[in-house]
Amino acid sequence: MNSKRYRNKRYKIREITDIKDMLYSSTSLYSDSNAFLIKETPGGDFKPVRYSQFKDDVDGLGTALKELGLTGKKIAVIGENRYEWVLTYFAVCCGVGIIVPVERELPPSEIKNLLKQVDVSAVVYSRKMEESMKETFEDLEGLEQIISMDAATHESNKLSLKQLVFEGKERIKAGDRGFIDRLIDPEAMGMLLFTSGTTGAAKGVKLSHKNIVANVMNMSMYVNVEGCTGLSVLPMHHTYEMTCHIMTALYQGCCVAICEGLRHIVKNMVEARANVMLGVPLLFEAMHKKIWKQAEKSGKAKKMRRAIALSKTFHLYNTGIAKKMFKEIHDTLGGGMQLLISGAAGIDPKVVEDFCAMGITMIQGYGMTENSPIIAVNMDRYSKPSSVGLAMPNTDIRIIDADENGIGEVICKGDSVMLGYYDNEEETARVLKDGWLYTGDYGYFDQDHFLYLTGRKKNVIVTKNGKNIFPEEVEFFLSRNNYIAEVVVYGKVEEKSGENIVCAEIYPDHEIIEESLGKLSEFELEELLKEVIDQANDQMPVYMRVKRFHIRDSEFEKTPSQKIIRHLADYNKTPEYEQWGFA
């Protein structure tokens, strides 16, 4: 898997100009293959949707939306992951107007503000959003059409998506080719996506078809999923899931099984016999913990540690031998899992190493919505567990203003760089300079050109001695302990010394603590976490060590991709942080 002989062996790709070209060419190549596996009723069986059927549905809905006078306008889609969501996305951007995916977990007032901000003309939504959308639709000027994914027929105040698909297909039968023959401008804005806002207000990112398909083609040179079945678990409004999974799968002829929800991942994985899954570190680290917990309970942990060590020593990895050695784990994951891809945040390299040793290739990548999103990714045949990978093909990455260790800000340039932020020239000018995207992330390259990230520029803690401390590095050492569920590290200037000291806000894993040590008093919990921090501090340079910590009562607020929203963390508004300290 890590053999350097694969470094220059990229997979062959076919050139595409836009998303419509991708869909139509894929349909001609994979017409009778399954594009999706969907469930029409919760808990029911997966039902296949072929590439030819998906294209026909896209053409039908697109034709109907065009007939409604929505050509060139912005159309929002909001709801849980489902076939109708993907159908809407493709129908709009393949010949109608500009698609605006919206996060369904947002408060109604915020959804309303976003729709107002970008002048949305139509909204397509699911039944689960019915109540919250009532408030959203009130006084929303410029809204022409409300379309329900679930209504069987048109009603006085809303249209039925199913009925529109049927009507559009009838129009096509009668000779209407307005949607089918409409040309796409690859350079124009086709998608308007909102960032998840981990450090402040969400911004509208303007992406073109050229941005997206460049990302899909470049990624496909490094990672091959042709003929596989992928399990879609991440929110589809997030560009990581839409570009890297849905789009890339359809481009390569892969089938996408739409998961019923996070609680059903393993069950759906088995039912779909999935081979590929994209996820975030929180998801994969939870799977990893569960595997080891089960091994401990069954008394097989020692045997498994020896087997993993053996697999690593002889580089068995994605071989039949490794699959036999870890058959129970493969069976638990459906028996066909081949590739796990982690993104959206850094992951513990040990998790990557263990899955690879168990015979399931695991890689990680790096990107941001502003680059459609992938900037760097490991190849499926050449990777490093601690790295976010190599620069994507046709993508330039540079490290600027590097320190003595080669760490500096990551900037990138290529066809996937966004057009800019919607109605925000000042912010656009701040991050886009001469075609280069200034990511705000710090990182460095190793001798093999693999990229490593050290943290966000905004989060850096600068000491009086001029040392740069990346909170993410400190968080990594702390979070490796099972007793810590979540942690945010930050700097706090002491009044007396004027020194910027390292502090931590910790949410303990109460379940594991109680399971291992029983019910602890508040004092005992404090003492336990002091020991945990002492152990982590011993692994770090003196200037990086945690000096103060605070125990929080609840989890941190997170984005849909499960990144902690740092600017909402309690340390920004809670003064009593010196109650527990270290000498």
| Residue pLDDT, tens place only, 116-131 | 999 999 999 999 999 8
pLDDT of residue 7: 67
> What CATH architecture does domain 19-33+50-184 belong to?
3-Layer(aba) Sandwich (3.40)
Q: How many CB atoms lie within 10 A of CB 13?
A: 16
State yes or no: pLDDT of 495 exceeds 80: no
What pLDDT shows up at residue 567? 66
Whether 198 has a pLDDT exceeding 60, the answer reads: no
Is residue 582 very low, low, confident or very high in pLDDT (cuts 50, 70, 90)?
Answer: very low
User: Using one digit for the tens of pLDDT, what is the confidence trace for 325-335?
Assistant: 999 999 989 88
Question: What CATH superfamily classification does 460-572 receive?
Answer: ANL, C-terminal domain (3.30.300.30)
266 residue type, one letter? V
Measured from the Cβ of residue 359, the count of other Cβ atoms closer than 10 Å reads 23
What CATH superfamily classification does 262-457 receive?
Answer: ANL, N-terminal domain (3.40.50.12780)
What is the average pLDDT across 234-257?
96
- What mean pLDDT do residues 286-308 have? 91
Looking at residue 48, what is its pLDDT?
98
% of the chain surpassing 70 pLDDT:
94
Residue range(s) in the chain whose domain bears CATH number 3.40.50.980: 19-33+50-184
- Residue 507 pLDDT > 60, yes or no? yes
Region of poorest pLDDT, from 129-143, 144-158, 367-381: 129-143
- Res 401: pLDDT: 94
Residue limits of CATH 3.30.300.30 in the chain: 460-572
Mean pLDDT is lowest, of 5-19, 73-87, 93-107, 211-225, for 5-19
User: What pLDDT, in 10s, does the model give residues 389-430?
Assistant: 999 999 999 999 999 889 999 999 999 999 999 999 999 999
pLDDT in tens, 13-32: 999 999 999 999 999 999 99
CA dist 469 and 262 (Å) reads 35
Q: How many CB atoms lie within 10 A of CB 338?
A: 17
pLDDT in tens, 298-307: 899 899 999 9
459 CB-side CA count, 13 A: 24
Please enumerate in sequence order all residues whose Cβ is within 8 A of that of 1, keeping only pairs 6 or more positions apart, or say none: 315, 317, 318, 356, 361, 381, 382, 383
Averaged pLDDT score across all residues of the chain:
91
Residue 566 has which token pair? 């740092």
Predicted pLDDT at 462: 81
Q: What is the DSSP string of 216-255?
A: HHHHHTT---TT-EEEE-S-TTSHHHIIIIIIHHHHHT-E
Start and end residues for every CATH 3.40.50.12780 domain found in the chain: 262-457
Looking up tokens 């698909």 gives 165
Average pLDDT over residues 290-310: 91
Task: Provide the whole-model pTM.
Answer: 0.86
Closest to 64 in 3D by CA, of 85, 36, 35, 95: 95
**Mind listing the pLDDT tens digit for each residue in 432-462?**
999 999 999 999 999 999 999 998 888 888 8
